[in-house]
Amino acid sequence: MPRETGASFRVGVGYDSHRFSAGRALKLGGVSIQSDVGLVGHSDADAVCHALTDAILGAAGLGDIGEMFPDTDEANRDRDSIDMLKAAVKRIRDAGFAVNQVDVAVIAEAPRLGPHRERIRARLAGALGIDSASVSVKGKSNEGMGWIGRKEGIACIAIATLTKTS
Ligand code: MG
């Protein structure tokens, strides 16, 4: 069967990971979180925003965050990742897509996401231009296994669905 090229509904997946380090700020989904360790990265290392940005760009077939914001560019140093997410949303809108809904899983032993979840949902919803009810954020531990279990870093998986508006 020929592939339907005019599909009006798209799905994208994004993954990101960052290493923990003392002396760095911890920001997830655009929300600053009190923690002994933060995340290392060229930008503010907000893995939630990075995975979500890739999911949105991927759903639209418009590349990825590394192409859009190279880590060789000094302009991106310590950059607020909510701004990158907003720029990706603008790019997909300009291409005739609208964000429908997103779902994010954050995998880390600490910090627990529960107390911050509603603030993260609201912040992401604002950047995405959708209602908080259409933004799901889940925290999962890795049951003590592997590099996540050893608290070396954090991983994030995001799914985004888009509709074609034009
Ligand atoms: Mg990243």
Q: Give the separation between CA 92 and CA 73, rounded to whole angstroms.
A: 22
Cα 41 to ligand 1 centre (Å): 7
Domain 9-164 architecture: 2-Layer Sandwich (3.30)
**pLDDT for res 77:** 78
Element (H, E) at 60: helix 47-60
Mapping DSSP onto H, E and C, the string for 69-85 reads: CCCCCHHHCCCCHHHHH
What separation in Å is there between the alpha carbon of 94 and the centre of ligand 1?
24
Order of all β-strands in the sheet with 37-40: 37-40, 9-22, 153-164, 97-107, 135-140
Centre of ligand 1 to C-alpha 146, Å, is 20
Residue 96, by phi and psi: left (phi above 0), alpha (psi -120 to 50) or beta? Answer: left
Main-chain dihedrals φ then ψ at residue 4, nearest 5 degrees = -80, 110
| Distance separating alpha carbons of residues 50 and 158, to the nearest angstrom | 9
Taking the centre of ligand 1 as the mean of its atom positions, its distance from the CA of residue 45, in whole angstroms, is 5
Ordered per-residue pLDDT tens for the chain, 166 residues: 555 556 689 999 999 999 999 988 899 999 999 998 999 988 889 999 999 999 999 999 999 999 998 888 787 777 899 999 999 999 999 999 999 999 999 999 999 999 999 999 999 999 999 999 999 999 999 999 999 999 999 999 999 999 998 8
For the chain, domain boundaries = 9-164
Q: Which residue's structure tokens are 């954020």?
A: 137
pLDDT at 79: 83
Q: What is the pLDDT of residue 43?
A: 86
| pLDDT for 72 | 81
Helix (H, G, I), strand (E, B) or coil at 128: helix
Q: How far is the CA of 96 from the centre of ligand 1 (A)?
A: 26
Quote the ligand 1 centre to 143 CA distance (angstroms). 23
DSSP assignment, residue 36? S
